[in-house]
Amino acid sequence: MKLRRYFLFETPFGICGLVWSESGLIRVLLPDEPARLEARCHALGAGPVQDEVPPAICDVTARLRAGFEGVPQDFSNVSLDWSEIGESERAIYSELRGIGWGRTTTYGALARAVGKPRAAQAVGIAMGRNPWPVIVPCHRVLGAGTYDGGFSAPGGVKTKTRLLALEGVAIGNQTPLLPGLFADTAPDKA
In the three-class reduction of DSSP (H, G, I as helix; E, B as strand; rest coil), residue 137 is classed as coil
Q: Among residues 12, 21, 2, which one has the least CA distance to residue 81?
A: 21
137 near 115, Cβ under 8 Å? no
Angle (nearest 5°) at CA 171 between 92 and 97: 25
Write a three-state SS string for 8-74.
Answer: EEEECCEEEEEEEECCEEEEEECCCCHHHHHHHHHHCCCEECCCCCCHHHHHHHHHHHHHHCCCCCC
Catalytic residue among 16, 41, 58, 138: 138
Catalytic residue flag (residue 138): yes
Q: What are the catalytic residues?
A: 138
